Amino acid sequence: MGDFAEKNTILIFPAGMPRSLEYLDRALREGRNVIGASSLAHDPSRERYPAWLHLPYITTLQFNDALIQAIADFNIGEIYTPNLVVWNYLNLRLKELAPEVALVNSSPIDTELSPYRKAQQFSQSLIEQPVLLASGDVPKAAMSLIEIASLFRHAELIPGMCSHDKIKALYEISRRSPTGDVVEIGSWWGKSAFVLARLACCYGIGKLLCIDPWSNEHLIQGDENGLVDSVPISADEAFTVFKINLLPYANGKLNYLRMPSVTALEHYLKHPIVQTATFGETVYASHIAILHIDGNHSYSNASADITSWSNLVIPGGWIIIDDYIWPYGDGPKKAGDEFLEKNYHKCALSFVMGDALFIKLSY
Ligand SMILES: C[S@@+](CC[C@H](N)C(=O)[O-])C[C@H]1O[C@@H](n2cnc3c(N)ncnc32)[C@H](O)[C@@H]1O
């Protein structure tokens, strides 16, 4: 019991719940002294814990005494519990049973519901303060509070680079988009792809085509200080994560080409059908309503993407150049500004939001 005498121990109970195991990993990383507890005769999570004890079920008369004894035996100073009933019981009784012991987590109900509440707040704020666009189009009907909250919540579950402001702007442009394909250059784990796919579906725009080589070789973009290029990250794993994230939304409405954007252009021009083992078959319109450019950010690549793909965007369609404001270099900005300069007569509107440049082509 040496360690327990010296350190303030944290009790995790019931120890086998997924949130308990997440908390265990964090506590061990932080060098905390941890003990797991369970009421099961055999709990498979036991071997993950550096120390262990058995506690009777909280519904039994023995529970209070066993807990008080454990607190004394193992020098327990804090308790973590993700179980709603145990948390509620300890929240009410711990002060009287063991006033020196703290319940470290807030209500598990609040923890689980907080992202949904945040999504509703986001939705409410978008409804109350819509992004006003001087595009001249009559926008399609606004989404309901639940639809926007759902878009935002599901997007939150996918890691990646698509800020709240960018989601707001994507929503507004989708309401003012013609029909056609939605093409994304650079999808990585699929965050912006999900947002585009969902909006394309809700507003009947068309199918999403994601273009990305998902190869480490293509991640090199020559950023100014080499900070981006030196991040150790697996493109193969990103590809797997992309498929896991997007599969539930596919249903013939999205697909991908695993190749660099310039090669993909030849494919797109020749083949309106894309077939992959994961997503099945998707039939495309062969003209683009929304083009989202978020591939390699070196000037040469960003410029090649804009030059080669923008011709396929139909009148009234949108071009989005992501990371137009980018702390690691100015490739997308230079390429975007050049496009605007050469094509100002074809552009009805342009604005920057969520670090991306949004351009609407004239009719
Ligand atoms: C910034 S990430 C994309 C982030 C993504 N849009 C999101 O929402 O999280 C850039 C992506 O561009 C891809 N990429 C790099 N070179 C490319 C190329 N030549 N053509 C298409 N994609 C490319 C990379 O593999 C990477 O997945």
pLDDT(361) > 50: yes
Task: Measure 242 CA to ligand 1 centroid, in angstroms.
Answer: 12
The CATH code of the domain that includes 28 is 3.40.50.20
| Residue 130, domain member (yes or no) | no
Judge whether residue 171 has pLDDT over 50.
Answer: yes
What is the per-residue pLDDT for 7? 54
Would you state the pLDDT for residue 19?
A: 96
Query: Does residue 191 line the site of ligand 1, with CB under 6 A?
Result: yes
68 C-alpha vs ligand 1 centroid, how far in Å?
Answer: 55
Amino acid at 105: N
Q: Print the domain residue range for 13.
A: 2-105
Residue 187 CB–ligand 1 contact under 6 Å: yes
Enter the DSSP assignment of 222: -
Confidence of residue 2 (pLDDT cuts 50, 70, 90): very low
The residue from 70, 105, 140 where one domain ends is 105
Average pLDDT over the chain, rounded to an integer: 95
Q: What is the mean pLDDT of residues 334-360?
A: 97
Helix, strand, or coil here: 189?
coil
- Name the strand (E) or helix (H) holding 358: strand 356-361
> Which of 166, 185, 188 gets mutated to test ligand 1 (max ligand atoms within 8 A of its CB)?
188
Q: Quick check: is 272 in a domain?
A: yes
Q: Which of 86, 105, 124 is the last residue in one of the domains?
A: 105
Q: What are phi and psi of 274, to 5 degrees?
A: -115, 130
Asked whether 245 lines ligand 1 (CB < 6 A), one says no
pLDDT, mean of residues 133-142? 91
Atom of ligand 1 nearest to the CA of 195: 8
CA distance 98 to 84: 20
Tell me the torsion sign for CA atoms 231, 237, 239, 242: negative
Q: Give the domain CATH number at 195.
A: 3.40.50.150
185 plus 99 within the same structural domain: no
Establish whether residue 336 lines the binding site of ligand 1, counting it when its CB lies within 6 angstroms of any ligand atom.
Answer: no
The whole-number average pLDDT for the span 102-109 is 96
- Compute the average pLDDT of residues 98-106: 96
- Mean pLDDT over 308-323 rounds to 97
Q: Percent of the chain scored above 70 by pLDDT?
A: 98
- Does residue 230 register a pLDDT over 90? no
Distances from the Cα of 37 to the Cαs of 29, 69, 86, 279, in angstroms? 19, 13, 12, 44
> What residues form DSSP beta bridges with 37?
53
Burial class (CB in 10 A: 0-12, 13-18, 19+), 101: buried
Is 90 exceeded by the pLDDT of residue 214? yes
Q: Is residue 185 part of a domain?
A: yes
Quick check: 152 and 117 in contact, CB under 8 A?
Answer: no
> Does position 18 have pLDDT exceeding 50, yes or no?
yes
- Identify the weakest region by mean pLDDT among 84-98, 129-143, 184-198: 129-143
The verdict on 58 and 185 lying in the same domain is no
What is the predicted pLDDT for the residue at 161? 86
Q: What is the pLDDT of residue 232?
A: 80
Total domains present in the chain: 2
pLDDT per position as a tens digit, 39-62: 999 999 999 999 999 999 999 999
Task: Tell whether ligand 1 has an atom less than 6 A from the beta carbon of residue 148.
Answer: no
C-alpha 298 to ligand 1 mean position (Å): 11
pLDDT value, residue 231: 81
Task: Select from 144, 148, 246 the least CA-distant residue to 194.
Answer: 246
- Considering the domain architecture, whether residues 99 and 231 belong to the same structural domain is answered as no
Judge if 213 and 306 occupy the same domain.
Answer: yes
Q: Would you say the CB of residue 212 lies under 6 angstroms from ligand 1?
A: yes
Percent helix, percent strand, percent coil in the chain, to nearest 5: 45, 20, 35
C-alpha of residue 163 to centroid of ligand 1, in Å: 16
**Can you tell me whether residue 61 is helix, strand or coil?**
coil
pLDDT band at residue 1 under the 50/70/90 scheme? very low
Edge-first strand order for the sheet with 347-353 is 254-257, 208-211, 181-185, 288-293, 313-321, 356-361, 347-353
Specify whether the CB–CB gap between 346 and 361 falls below 8 A: yes
Is there an atom of ligand 1 within 6 Å of 294 CB?
yes
Instruction: Give the Å distance between the CA of 204 and the centre of ligand 1.
Output: 25
pLDDT at residue number 224: 74
Tell me if 37 is assigned to some domain: yes
Question: Can you tell me which atom of ligand 1 is nearest the CA of 238?
Answer: 27
CA of 28 to the centre of ligand 1 (A): 35
Higher pLDDT, 176 or 137: 176
Q: Closest ligand 1 atom, CA of 214?
A: 25
Contacts of 318 (CB under 8 A, 6+ apart): 173, 177, 289, 290, 291, 358, 359, 360, 361
| Mean pLDDT along residues 137-166 | 95
Q: What is the pLDDT of residue 200?
A: 98
Q: Kindly state whether residue 161 falls inside one of the protein's structural domains.
A: no
181 and 290 inside one domain: yes
- Name the closest-CA residue to atom 14, ligand 1: 295
State in Å: Cα 252 to ligand 1 middle. Answer: 22
Give the three-state DSSP class for 315: strand
Check if the beta carbon of residue 249 is closer than 8 Å to that of residue 278.
no
In-domain check, residue 77 = yes
User: Are 50 and 191 members of one domain?
Assistant: no
Domain ends where: 85, 105, 125? 105
Does any ligand 1 atom lie closer than 6 A to the CB of residue 214? yes
- pLDDT, position 5: 52
Percent residues over pLDDT 90 in the chain: 90
Given a contact cutoff of 8 angstroms between Cβ atoms, the answer to whether 204 and 141 are in contact is no
Type of residue found at 111: T
Q: Which of 210, 214, 294, 308 to mutate to test the pocket of ligand 1 (most atoms within 8 A of CB)?
A: 294
